Amino acid sequence: MFWASLVFLVRDNGDCLILKRSSLRGAHRGKWGLAGGKADRGEMPEDCAIRECFEETGFRLSEDELFFLSKQSSGKRDYYFFWARVSGEPRIDNEHEGWEWVPWNKIRDRIEVPTHSSVFDAFELAQSQL
C-alpha cells in the first residue's frame, strides 16, 4: 500500500536540501531527512511528493519537474523516492527546525532517517549522469 513520498531537492550546483525534523513532535524527532511525507487518502505518489514539498519547503513543483528514483517497501508500506531541481531558499514549516544544503555526493552520510542504500545509489547515479 502506498504510504509516503520523499524528494531529493537539488540546486543547479548539485547541493541537496536536507531538513531537520522537529525535536518536539512527529516521527523521527530531531533527525535530518528529505522533504516528503505521508500520503493523503487516494493520493498518487507524484501528487503527494508535490504537495509535501510545497508544505514543507515552499518549493512549487510540477509533475514534469519530478523524476522517479525508487520504490521501497517496508512491510505493507510503500515509499516512493523522487528528485527535482529547485532554486532559491526554502521556507520550512513547523514540522522542521532547520535546513541545510549538502553536496549531492555527501547526502548519504547526512540523512539520519532510515533510508535503504539502494535509494542513495539510484540518486547518486542520476546526479552523476547530469
pLDDT, tens digit, for every residue of 64-80? Answer: 999 999 999 988 899 99
Q: In the prediction, which pLDDT does 46 show?
A: 96
30 has a pLDDT exceeding 90: no
Q: Could you tell me the pTM of the whole model?
A: 0.92
Distance CA 130, CA 117 (A): 21
Q: Where are the domains of the chain?
A: 2-128
Candidate CATH numbers 2.60.120.560, 3.40.30.110, 3.40.50.2300, 3.90.79.10; the one for domain 2-128: 3.90.79.10
CA nearest to 124, candidates 96, 102, 99: 102
**pLDDT tens across 77-92, in order?**
999 999 999 999 999 9
3-class secondary-structure state, position 11: coil
- Mean pLDDT to the nearest integer, 43-52: 96
Q: Are 66 and 82 in contact (CB under 8 A)?
A: yes
Q: In the prediction, which pLDDT does 130 show?
A: 67
